[in-house]
Amino acid sequence: MGAHSNPLTRDWEIQVNTWPRKIVAITVVLAACGALIYRTWWLFLAAWITRTGSPDVALYEKAVKYDPENADYHFKLAQIYNYSTQNMNIRRAGEEYEAAVRLNPYRTQHWQELSKYYEQEGNMELCRYAMQQALERDPNYAQTHWAAANLYIRLNDLKAADFELRRTADLDVSYLTQVLDLVWRFYEDPDPIMATHVPDTKDANLTALGYFISQKSEHGAAIAWAKLKNFETRPQERFAYIEYLVSLNRPHDAWQVFSFPQAVKSGESAALIFNPSFETEPMNGAFDWRFSSSEHAEARRDTTAAKEGLASFLVTFDGKENPNYAQVWHWLPVDKGRHYDLTFWMKTEAISTNEGMFVDVDGQFSEKQLGTTYWQQFTIPFTATSDLVSARLRRVPSKKFDNLLKGKVWLDAFALTEH
């Protein structure tokens, strides 16, 4: 049974076992191939001549002739006619834009450019229609909503613009600074801006906080911070706001921002000096230790020597300069007029010259240390002259001939107490 062909298909078989039939079959195949080549040849030719993307009007005129159903060729030709000063033809540009969206209505960019074309021609009804088509084609692309928002601003439709600006920021927070720049020009009021244009996310609130700081809007920064407190943030992300509050002479508010959320959990600020024993790597900002190294002085946390805990802070001088040194320091939030003691431990190794190392807090000094000393505790009493003072590791320049500073100094176990 399997050796014989199926009787149902046998009647459809065409025998080509004779030369006339073979010739007919070959002719049919060649004709089909020729028709296919003829239909695709022009498509290949259009693709070939436009392969470089060069904005040559003659090439794209040929391309739309060879492949008239290709929306991209019409769009490119429209761009050339609309923007090229040498080949400008506004009427043709409009025709080609319309052909592009007719042939491929799903390309957002085509609708956006058509919207621009209608706007420049003063046809605002079609301009809005084309932009709406772009939004419908690509509802989740921030750049499209950004373009729509700018259009509505130019049309003085702020309600529509507000919606699109918020949608832009929702989709891509990197646009938020540009959004805030726009709405600040119109409103200059942080309350509606935060309510309407800023998504309630960590990144968005951080961006808004930075923006209001740049605008010196104390109220705007406060609103942004109030929202940001609902999210977990690193101290470094709050540094700009801390610096801003200090610039406003609000050091205690700055300290609360720095110590958040510990201050909230405990009901009060923690110890008035952060990281007093260098148990964590200094953040080099805000209310942590600040320091900088130079060509002749290296400042760093040291885990090989400590008076207490795991680490201390070390500064090494190479003996090649006579510095006025003040490159390790720490803010202290205090109350003006109150009395405090700053205590700490210091040790030195081979500190040269007649000018030694000491700590300065609010204009009061510890004893200068020279040569090699083991760990010694120092106490500096002072009366705060403001609500924010600084403790610094210092050395003043030597006036002697042998004045180049060499050696090492360690600091550890700071404490600030009121009395």
- Chain segment 304-333, per-residue pLDDT in tens: 999 999 999 999 999 999 999 999 999 999
Q: What is the pLDDT of residues 79-132, one digit of tens each?
A: 999 998 888 999 999 999 999 999 999 999 999 999 999 999 999 999 999 999
Mean pLDDT, residues 132-159: 95
Q: Where are the beta strands (DSSP E) in 261-363?
A: 290-291, 297-302, 312-318, 325-333, 339-351, 358-361
Predicted confidence at residue 334, as pLDDT, reads 96
Q: Which helix (H) or strand (E) holds 11?
A: none
Q: What is the DSSP string of 353-387?
A: SS--BEEEETTEE---B-EEEEEEEEEEEEE-SSS
Predicted confidence at residue 328, as pLDDT, reads 98
Q: Are 405 and 319 in contact (CB under 8 A)?
A: yes
pLDDT at 264 > cutoff 50: no
Where residue 15 falls among pLDDT bands split at 50, 70, 90?
Answer: low
Mean pLDDT, residues 14-42: 56
With helix as H, strand as E and coil as C, how does 139-193 read? CCCHHHHHHHHHHHHHCCCHHHHHHHHHHHHHHCHHHHHHHHHHHHHHCCCHHHH
Where residue 56 falls among pLDDT bands split at 50, 70, 90?
Answer: confident
Q: Which residues pair with 406 in a beta bridge?
A: 318
Question: 36-40, 65-69, 101-105, 415-419 — which is least confidently predicted?
Answer: 36-40
Predicted confidence at residue 173, as pLDDT, reads 97
Predicted confidence at residue 240, as pLDDT, reads 97
Predicted confidence at residue 90, as pLDDT, reads 94
Q: Are 412 and 313 in contact (CB under 8 A)?
A: yes
Q: What is the pLDDT of residues 235-255, one digit of tens each?
A: 999 999 999 999 999 999 999
Predicted confidence at residue 394, as pLDDT, reads 98
Predicted confidence at residue 135, as pLDDT, reads 97
Where residue 265 falls among pLDDT bands split at 50, 70, 90?
Answer: very low
Mean pLDDT, residues 360-370: 97
Predicted confidence at residue 269, as pLDDT, reads 41
**276: helix, strand or coil:** coil
Count of Cβ atoms closer than 10 Å to residue 47 Cβ = 14
Predicted confidence at residue 9, as pLDDT, reads 45
Predicted confidence at residue 266, as pLDDT, reads 40
- Angle (CA) 207-208-210 rounded to 5° is 65
Terminal-to-terminal C-alpha distance of the chain: 113
Tokens of 118: 């209608």
Question: 111-120, 257-266, 342-351 — which is least confidently predicted?
Answer: 257-266
Q: What is the pLDDT of residues 379-407, one digit of tens each?
A: 999 999 999 999 999 999 999 999 999 99
Cβ neighbors of 224 (< 8 A, separation 6 or more) are 190, 194, 198, 205, 206, 208, 209, 212
Predicted confidence at residue 53, as pLDDT, reads 79
Q: What is the pLDDT of residues 182-202, one digit of tens each?
A: 999 999 999 999 999 999 999
Mean pLDDT, residues 224-229: 97
Q: What is the pTM of this model?
A: 0.82
Single-letter residue type at 393? L
Predicted confidence at residue 350, as pLDDT, reads 97
Q: Average pLDDT of the chain?
A: 90
